[in-house]
Amino acid sequence: MFGFGTTVDAEQIRSFNLWLDNQFNNYIFSNWFDKYVEEAYKKGLIRARNELIKAGYPVQKIDDINALLRSPQHLKMLNYLKESIVNELRGITDALKQQLNRVLSGSILAKENSKLIAKKLVAVINGKNAKQLGVTNTLGRFIPAKRRAELMARTETVRIHHLANIEEYSNAGVSGVRVMAEWVTAKDEKVCNICIEMEGKIFTLEKIAILIPVHVQCRCIALPIKVKKITNNK
C-alpha cells in the first residue's frame, strides 16, 4: 500500500509527498471542481431571486441561469470563491502531509513494518482505528483528513450560497431599491447559542456578506427585508 516495501526511507517519503501534491493539483484543476462551485452558486442565485420576489422587490424570475452566471459581477465572485476554496484545500493538504510525514518518520525510527505503516497512513486519512494505532497530532487531538474535507465542503457550500444571495440582493439595490438583509437560523435544536442571538437582526449587505457562515457547518441564511418594511423606515 502507498508503494512502500518492507522498509521506508527518506526518498520514499519525498516521492510520496510529490504523489500527494500531484493528486491535489489533479483534483483542483479538474472540471469536477469548477462544476461543484458553479452549481452551488447557481442554486444560491435561484434562491436569492425567489426570496427577492417573495419580499416584493421588482425583479423577474431567472430565465437563463447560465447567462446570469456569466455576468461580470457573478464571474468575479465565482473566481474569488474558487481561489478561496483552493487555499482552504491547500491548508488541509499541508496539514495532511505534515501528519503523514510525522507518522512515517516515527515508524522509521520504531522500525515498523510496511503493513503497520500503511494502516497508520489510512488512519490519518479516514480516521479508521486511529486511536488504537496511536495516531494523534502534536496537541494530542486528531481529526482525519477525510473529516476535515467533509466539514470544509459543507461550510464552503453555505458560503457559496450566501455570497450568491448577497450579489443578487445587491443587484436589486442597483435599480433603486434599498436592500437590507435579515439574519435567519435553521430554527432547530442544532442551532448554536451564537446563531440564536443573531436571529432576526438586520444588517447592511456589506456587513452581512462577511458574517455567514459563522462557524463550521453553520446553516444561517440572509433574507431580504420586505419592501413594506423598508418604505416605513425611510
Percent share of the chain, pLDDT over 70: 84
Judged against a pLDDT cut of 90, whether residue 24 lies above it is answered with no
Q: Which H helix or E strand runs over 88?
A: helix 72-110
Most confident of 50-54, 144-148, 174-178: 50-54
First-to-last C-alpha distance (Å) of the chain: 68
Q: Which residue has the cell 456589506?
A: 206
Q: Which H helix or E strand runs over 28?
A: helix 10-28
> How distant, in Å, are the alpha carbons of 29, 41, 62, 64 from that of 70?
20, 12, 13, 10
Half-sphere exposure of 211 (CA within 13 A, CB side): 21
Half-sphere exposure of 201 (CA within 13 A, CB side): 13
- Place 132 in a pLDDT band, splitting at 50, 70 and 90: low
Secondary structure E strands in the chain = 181-184, 202-203, 221-224
Query: For the segment 180-222, what is each residue's pLDDT rounded down to a tens digit?
Result: 888 999 888 889 999 999 999 999 999 999 999 999 889 999 9
> How distant, in Å, are the alpha carbons of 36, 69, 83, 121, 185 from that of 30?
10, 19, 14, 25, 34
Query: For the segment 75-95, what is each residue's pLDDT rounded down to a tens digit?
Result: 999 999 988 988 888 887 787
Query: For the segment 147-184, what is each residue's pLDDT rounded down to a tens digit?
Result: 777 888 889 999 999 999 999 999 888 655 667 888 99
Residues in the chain: 234
Judged against a pLDDT cut of 60, whether residue 12 lies above it is answered with yes
Instruction: Give CA–CA dist 133/82, Å, rounded.
Output: 36
Q: Which H helix or E strand runs over 95?
A: helix 72-110
Per the model's pLDDT, the better-predicted residue between 65 and 9 turns out to be: 65
